[in-house]
Structure 1
Amino acid sequence: MEIFEECSVINDLLQANDGTEARNRLIRLLDQHGREGIPYSPLVNHLIRESGLFPYLDPDTSSWQDRFIFESFKVDIGQEVPVTLHSEQSLVLKHLLDGDNLAISAPTSFGKSLIIDAYIAIKKPKNVLILVPTIALTDETRRRLSKKFSAEYKIVTTSEVELGEKNIIIFPQERAIHYCDKLEQLDLLVVDEFYKASQAFDKERSPALLKAMLKLGEKAAQKYYLAPNIDELNDNPFTKGMTFLRMDFNTVFLEKHEEYKDINKDVQKKNAALLRILGKHETKSLIYAGTYSGVDSVTTLLIDNIDKEDSVLLSDFSVWLAANYHPNWKLTNLVKRSVGIHTGQLHRSLSQIQVRLFEEEKGGLQTLVSTSSIIEGVNTSAENVIVWSNKKGHLKLDDFTYRNIIGRGGRMFKHFVGNIFILEEPPSPADTQLELTFPDELLADVDDEKYKQELTKEQLAKLLHYKEEMAQIMGQESFKRLQNEGALISSDTELIATIAHAIKKDPKLVRGLATLYAPSNDYWVWILCKVLKLVPGEWDAAHTKFAEFVKALSSNWSLSIPELLDQLSEQDVTIDEFFKMERNATFKLTALLNDINVIQKEIAPEHKVDISPFIAKLSKAFLPSCVIELEEYGLPRMLAKRIHASDLINFEDEKLDLHSAIALLRELKPQILAKTEGLDNFDRYVLDYFYEGIATQ
């Protein structure tokens, strides 16, 4: 009787056009059916149909009309069995198949990615480029699409790879910019999490993403931009001519527990609440800790208060971390308690391994403690989301990011209801208008004639001054050529002008660069410190410490990470700093050195200095090209080193590109598993995961 009464309430809500509340109540009812093992009645199935949640229909207990809907909304998504879409997914797919350019805002649980798979399977485009915010999402997207389309498409994820006949290209924005000239035409440009193009949401990534959207948008026949929780989109040149669809359609229900009201900013009460929640629930939990120091506080609390788990897999993982990273590292101790860490600084393969362990049904990680990397770096979710902090870095959490975090609670077909435990006061609800404008950091790449209307008077003046200044320093012709070739990575006029002035004034700077390709690295520290001073606040470390790190990193292929940390002990480099500095060296320092190299060759050609070989090595963290690329595919460098040392594959062979290496790894799988020296149980677990990701259809 209770179920019938609830069905009656849901039906009344549907009749009154209150679809959101009807869906929320229906999802909770389905959760009850699941927990109590009650089969869906024809009435429940009918309400599922009426609310548009077609994938949840049970064809075995449906009326023929509802069964017809279940079958009618099935689409090919590139796998053996077609999948039923919900009503709003179907609407978006119809728009795309009709050739519309779409910018959509929809909740995390909406299933936006499934629409891309259906579009590729049905329309069979020649070239699709998917822009993702992080390397971790690159690999996750690659794994998903490889399983479905690798027989028909070349899946490209690194900029060294040449295009095939038909291609699905998956890049973070920086990589896409370098690849742009190789692309003549795109059938579809997908930008995932396109809200990051706004300075308000991601100051660091915004200029590069806007640059990629501008350049690639010109080559794309059709565009599909995705984001969560946006209410309005301003008129702007980046989404001009696109239809904005706001889809407020949830497929799971979020049950909020406002613990902060009892905690009332009392740290001890907050700690006790966290331990109580984790102790009470045997299901998976994501803890949003806000900042690196927040992650540190939470993990210290858990190490002190949670017993070690009796899991062979996690025990093996702990031993593996001690041997390959550091025995006294917090994560080494933490995983024994079934807790992992997810931040943007970790090695990519290490983040991937932990997400894989988190998704294991038994014996894996129960809890992941994270910064905002969990909402932008990976598509995982959990039954419980614990909002430990209301900060994002130094700032207070905004409503947009907060909704994005709690949107990780629940998952279609797994958890109808996500439990959200809020331990600090959440931000006030607010509408999010996405403002996309030209930031100053993009000015060097902007055609001021074409985008005159979109630039402010100050920006136009700044751009004019920059062009005059650069023409004066290096000559009009040289400057024009550099602009046309797109040889500079930075689009920041101030930085480029600073580099040009430094090279013009200081001949020692150019001569010093030549030491970067000398046989010995003894003189690197001096010149690197000089270079680092050009962008003083960027390096998260003192200049000498960072330069010493780069010098030590040059032994990355011959030494293990524990050995490198020993070498860096005088500089007090911790394992966490190691990750951060390697990231800064391979991205930020590489970009800076590239622009210095390009400019000095124009201004001071008489010195005949070219540090591009050094830049290429630094961008790969001084590892062979294939090794760093394979790490993105889930093969950690320490395993590549062992395979190389066992004479099974020569990773130092410069002719070995990524796709050839993958083909060799597939072909030699039995020998690699049998003959690689010193493989332990966890190495084999990691290799299984890696091989799963490169399996052909």
Structure 2
Amino acid sequence: MNVEDIYNKEFIDFEYSFALTSICSRYLRSMDEQMGRDILLAIIDNWEKVEQGTKKIWIDLLDSAGFYPYLKVYDSNDIKDLGQEIRTYYHESSNIGNITLHREQKILLDYLENNKNLVVSAPTSFGKSLLIEEVVASSKYKNIVIIQPTLALIHETFKKLVKYNNTYNIVVTTSQEAENNENNIFILTAERVIEFNNLPKIDFVIIDEFYKLSSKRDDERSDILNMAANLLINKHRAQFYLLGPNITNISPGFAEKYNAIFYKTNYSLVNNDIIDLYTKYKKELNSPGKIKFKENLLFELLFNLKEEQTIIYCSSPNRVMSLSIKFLDYLMQKGKVENEEDLELIEWINENLTPQWTYNKLLKYKIGVHNGAIIKHLNESVVDYFNNQELNYLFCTSTLIEGVNTTAKNVVIFDNIKGGKEIDYFDFSNIKGRSGRFMKHILGKVYLFNEIPSNNDVIIDIPFFDQVEASDEVIISLEKDSIKKEQTERYNNLVETLGDYFEVVKNNNISVNGQLKIIKEIEGNLADHQTLICWEGIPTYKQLSYILELGWDNLLKPGETTLPMTKGKLVFMTNNFGVKDGFIDSIRSEYIYQSKQTANKNKNKEQILDLAILNTMQVYRHWLKYKVPKWLNVIDKLQREVCHKNGLKPGNYKIFASLLENENVSGNLAHLIDLGVPSSAIKKIERFIPKDLPINHVLKFIRDEKVLNESSLLNYEKKKIQNLISFT
């Protein structure tokens, strides 16, 4: 059975439709139920073509397949089948208004309501996140933790759940406090779960993208996620719901120990149509002129898809920028550009960066770019523009693929590289799953420019449980009585080696060996370098250099990629941002530096500027807002222990670390950055907001005191804050 035949029909007449219902029904009752669902979805997508006399049979098949959300939309019969009505009513949410669950969502919800722990592997389009809202809307749990892998997903989850702020105090950052006498929802990264002071007893924990627990998925944050999971599952004894896509199985024994159900399904309410361009053009794509051919093939495809929205997966931030610019050049040379868009983000870029950035030009012609280097609120705005159909194309890396919801009909997998390695079938399936969207694009199309990777089983190890692949950092975070026999000697050796520093090293949740080396360095140089160690507030250049060199030499993971960053450059840029608040100065310095590099001798000024901006943003996001504050806080705690042992007054690096992480804004306003507000907007209004105003009252104060009337705010900045206020 070829589903494509259904799409090719101009009219699905009685005879063909009736025969197809029989085929579909047979599949739905067989081992190949997926084929039956594929036929059913194709019929729904072509509903206006279906002969009226057969529609009632298709409605019955929707019921049979458990497609109750579609059943409510497509069943227009005046005379209802009583059994069908009962089943549809049974699948309606009792917690969320106007929501109907499909068959498998209802199964999972029943497990959760019966206090079962769940580990779910399901497609992107399954609707796993709807069950998160069901848990919250039920008001069954006093304190809930939702662990998201990125700040973008924290913001997205906040927007979905903020409607429950009359029932729950919603916490998104460690600077907020839990309400002891109220219900709390903590929407945090794993790092913030560990760092959160006075976390109350947690009743329910949700870990999104739980495959990141695995030590084998090459995720540098695996250790910290294991520590957070261990804290909540073992110490808080919280009920849990772990969700992710395309997983074959989990560590043996995990489900049994925690009375959990591992639920694997391929159930989906959308179809994916694979268009294999690689096989079709294999000879050309492997020829000496393959790069030019591949790019032209892409550009022609994108132009032909101009009436539909398309996501294009690329291997790296630089690749995203260069390919999107080449595509725009192609459109201009062919005279195929549409009218310019006048997006408010462009005005913000003009004021805060430079009008010369090619990113602006791309936006004007409905081309967006999204990658892990670009600053957060820009990425979020581009996704919003795309979802609102103000952009036609979105060139992206895996940062978009791994969890940001989009509404693309088409996905182009142009590159087969992720993080310098070929993508495996798991990554391929994740990217593929971004095509199509429930109720919007029932058929998503996936265009392949490379071979499909081998379909290998993906078994997710859980290091805090099985301990076989657990790092020293995970091992020492475990309770002694939970250490398995095979790891007892290793644990005891770590306790003995760390001695008096065991607690501080454990609580820092970073390289044990690296911390030991830093302790020895500080102990050995305390007399000679006391002024370089025992500083507080804003450091001098020498003090900053000394501390960051300790971090660089000892806290990077083995084999971790640092290029184009260097030790000296990191000190210079940290000083530029932290002491001078100099984003523009840093771009200017990077532009001068890149202009002198022989590798860039064939680039024009515009290309070098694009590179300088991208590099500066990458440093800003990856190093200055994440790694450097982490190192400062770790070394701060270590030097305190050493100084106290030696009777000296320790330094205090916390102020400087916070200043970097919070982009120089007041502490009670820093959470607005995590919620997508640019720091430029916060700095314009912070003088109107009391510094001692509790974080949870900030948005209400801005609304009630009409703070947004401040004339210096750009429309883009106002809308970013207004959107948050409207949610609350």
**Could you state the TM-score of these two structures normalised by the residue count of structure 1?**
0.89
Does residue 663 (structure 1) correspond to residue 688 (structure 2)? The answer is no
Q: Quick one: which amino acid aligns to residue 479 of structure 1?
A: Y
Which of 277, 288, 310 is the aligned partner of 1:259?
277
Q: Quick one: which amino acid aligns to residue 394 of structure 1?
A: G
The aligned residue for residue 496 of structure 1 is 515
- What's the % identity of the aligned pairs? 25
Alpha-carbon shift at residue 90 of structure 1 (Å): 0.1
Residues 252 and 415 in structure 1, CA contact (< 8 A), matched pair in contact too: yes
The whole-number CA distance in structure 2 between the counterparts of 1:128 and 1:294 is 39
The whole-number CA distance in structure 1 between the counterparts of 2:222 and 2:55 is 50
Partner-residue secondary structure (3-state), 1:382: coil
Which of 178, 181, 202 is the aligned partner of 2:195?
178
Which of 590, 610, 631 is the aligned partner of 2:629?
590
Does residue 632 (structure 1) correspond to residue 674 (structure 2)? The answer is yes
RMSD: 2.7
The whole-number CA distance in structure 2 between the counterparts of 1:556 and 1:144 is 37
Over 3 Å counting, the alpha-carbon distance change for 1:348 and 1:238 in structure 2 is: farther
Residues 134 and 172 in structure 1, CA contact (< 8 A), matched pair in contact too: yes
The aligned residue for residue 187 of structure 1 is 203
The aligned residue for residue 475 of structure 1 is none
Which of 202, 224, 227 is the aligned partner of 2:244?
227
The whole-number CA distance in structure 2 between the counterparts of 1:344 and 1:310 is 29
Partner-residue secondary structure (3-state), 2:242: strand
Farther off after superposition, 102-111 or 462-471: 462-471
Partner-residue secondary structure (3-state), 2:369: strand
Please give the residue correspondences for 1:570-649 in structure 2 after superposition, counting only pairs within 5 Å: 574-583=612-621, 584-605=623-644, 606-611=647-652, 612-644=654-686, 649=688
Over 3 Å counting, the alpha-carbon distance change for 1:18 and 1:358 in structure 2 is: same
The aligned residue for residue 474 of structure 1 is none
Residues 511 and 609 in structure 1, CA contact (< 8 A), matched pair in contact too: no
The whole-number CA distance in structure 1 between the counterparts of 2:227 and 2:201 is 17
Residues 286 and 385 in structure 1, CA contact (< 8 A), matched pair in contact too: yes
Please give the residue correspondences for 1:194-209 in structure 2 after superposition, counting only pairs within 5 Å: 194-209=210-225
The aligned residue for residue 418 of structure 2 is 392
Residues 510 and 600 in structure 1, CA contact (< 8 A), matched pair in contact too: no
The aligned residue for residue 28 of structure 1 is 42
Does residue 16 (structure 1) correspond to residue 30 (structure 2)? The answer is yes
Residues 126 and 267 in structure 2, CA contact (< 8 A), matched pair in contact too: yes
Partner-residue secondary structure (3-state), 1:419: strand
Does residue 367 (structure 1) correspond to residue 389 (structure 2)? The answer is no
Over 3 Å counting, the alpha-carbon distance change for 1:159 and 1:48 in structure 2 is: same
Residues 402 and 427 in structure 1, CA contact (< 8 A), matched pair in contact too: yes
Please give the residue correspondences for 1:301-450 in structure 2 after superposition, counting only pairs within 5 Å: 301-307=326-332, 308-314=337-343, 316-361=344-389, 364-437=390-463, 438=467, 439-443=470-474, 445-447=476-478, 449-450=480-481
The whole-number CA distance in structure 1 between the counterparts of 2:442 and 2:503 is 57
Runs of 5+ consecutive residues of structure 2 not aligned to the other structure: 1-13, 595-610
The whole-number CA distance in structure 2 between the counterparts of 1:613 and 1:654 is 16
Q: Quick one: which amino acid aligns to residue 405 of structure 2?
A: N
Residues 532 and 543 in structure 1, CA contact (< 8 A), matched pair in contact too: yes
Please give the residue correspondences for 1:87-106 in structure 2 after superposition, counting only pairs within 5 Å: 87-106=103-122
The whole-number CA distance in structure 1 between the counterparts of 2:625 and 2:27 is 55
Over 3 Å counting, the alpha-carbon distance change for 1:4 and 1:684 in structure 2 is: farther
Alpha-carbon shift at residue 505 of structure 1 (Å): 1.9
Alpha-carbon shift at residue 618 of structure 1 (Å): 2.8
Does residue 73 (structure 1) correspond to residue 91 (structure 2)? The answer is yes
Alpha-carbon shift at residue 500 of structure 1 (Å): 1.3
Q: Quick one: which amino acid aligns to residue 445 of structure 1?
A: I
Over 3 Å counting, the alpha-carbon distance change for 1:429 and 1:108 in structure 2 is: same
Runs of 5+ consecutive residues of structure 1 not aligned to the other structure: 472-477
Farther off after superposition, 187-196 or 64-73: 64-73
Over 3 Å counting, the alpha-carbon distance change for 1:324 and 1:695 in structure 2 is: same
The aligned residue for residue 691 of structure 1 is 722
The whole-number CA distance in structure 2 between the counterparts of 1:581 and 1:151 is 39
Please give the residue correspondences for 1:242-281 in structure 2 after superposition, counting only pairs within 5 Å: 242-264=260-282, 265=285, 266-281=290-305
Residues 172 and 186 in structure 2, CA contact (< 8 A), matched pair in contact too: yes
Does residue 168 (structure 1) correspond to residue 185 (structure 2)? The answer is yes
Residues 340 and 365 in structure 2, CA contact (< 8 A), matched pair in contact too: no
Q: Quick one: which amino acid aligns to residue 701 of structure 2?
A: L
The aligned residue for residue 296 of structure 1 is 321
Residues 444 and 493 in structure 1, CA contact (< 8 A), matched pair in contact too: no
Which of 69, 76, 81 is the aligned partner of 1:63?
81
Q: Quick one: which amino acid aligns to residue 293 of structure 2?
A: K
The aligned residue for residue 512 of structure 1 is 532
The aligned residue for residue 157 of structure 1 is 172
Partner-residue secondary structure (3-state), 1:245: strand
1:481-515 deviations in Å (ceiling 9; x for gaps): 536xx54242x221121111211222245431345
Alpha-carbon shift at residue 345 of structure 1 (Å): 2.5
The aligned residue for residue 587 of structure 2 is 565
The aligned residue for residue 675 of structure 1 is 710
The aligned residue for residue 136 of structure 1 is 152
Farther off after superposition, 686-695 or 600-609: 686-695
The aligned residue for residue 552 of structure 2 is 532
Q: Quick one: which amino acid aligns to residue 160 of structure 2?
A: R
The whole-number CA distance in structure 1 between the counterparts of 2:472 and 2:395 is 33
Over 3 Å counting, the alpha-carbon distance change for 1:187 and 1:551 in structure 2 is: same
Over 3 Å counting, the alpha-carbon distance change for 1:199 and 1:238 in structure 2 is: farther
Alpha-carbon shift at residue 588 of structure 1 (Å): 1.5
The whole-number CA distance in structure 2 between the counterparts of 1:414 and 1:258 is 24
The whole-number CA distance in structure 1 between the counterparts of 2:208 and 2:494 is 33
Over 3 Å counting, the alpha-carbon distance change for 1:575 and 1:190 in structure 2 is: same
The whole-number CA distance in structure 2 between the counterparts of 1:188 and 1:531 is 36
1:173-217 deviations in Å (ceiling 9; x for gaps): 1001112x5223222111111000002224211101000000111
The whole-number CA distance in structure 1 between the counterparts of 2:206 and 2:51 is 40
Farther off after superposition, 245-254 or 134-143: 245-254
Q: Quick one: which amino acid aligns to residue 229 of structure 1?
A: N
Alpha-carbon shift at residue 675 of structure 1 (Å): 3.4
The whole-number CA distance in structure 1 between the counterparts of 2:434 and 2:530 is 50
Farther off after superposition, 320-329 or 565-574: 565-574
The whole-number CA distance in structure 2 between the counterparts of 1:499 and 1:39 is 78
Over 3 Å counting, the alpha-carbon distance change for 1:520 and 1:661 in structure 2 is: farther
Alpha-carbon shift at residue 237 of structure 1 (Å): 5.8
Alpha-carbon shift at residue 518 of structure 1 (Å): 5.3
Q: Quick one: which amino acid aligns to residue 425 of structure 2?
A: D
Residues 33 and 39 in structure 1, CA contact (< 8 A), matched pair in contact too: no
1:435-462 deviations in Å (ceiling 9; x for gaps): 2224225246344743432755xxx555
Farther off after superposition, 335-344 or 578-587: 578-587
The aligned residue for residue 5 of structure 2 is none
Alpha-carbon shift at residue 600 of structure 1 (Å): 1.7
The whole-number CA distance in structure 1 between the counterparts of 2:317 and 2:486 is 37
Residues 263 and 270 in structure 1, CA contact (< 8 A), matched pair in contact too: no
1:76-101 deviations in Å (ceiling 9; x for gaps): 344xx331100000000000000001
1:543-571 deviations in Å (ceiling 9; x for gaps): 111111111112565x5x33553366565
Over 3 Å counting, the alpha-carbon distance change for 1:238 and 1:131 in structure 2 is: farther
Over 3 Å counting, the alpha-carbon distance change for 1:544 and 1:15 in structure 2 is: closer
Alpha-carbon shift at residue 377 of structure 1 (Å): 4.3
Residues 255 and 261 in structure 2, CA contact (< 8 A), matched pair in contact too: no
Over 3 Å counting, the alpha-carbon distance change for 1:351 and 1:620 in structure 2 is: same
The whole-number CA distance in structure 2 between the counterparts of 1:523 and 1:496 is 19
Over 3 Å counting, the alpha-carbon distance change for 1:38 and 1:532 in structure 2 is: farther
The whole-number CA distance in structure 2 between the counterparts of 1:656 and 1:123 is 28
Alpha-carbon shift at residue 595 of structure 1 (Å): 2.0
1:230-252 deviations in Å (ceiling 9; x for gaps): 11112266984221111221110
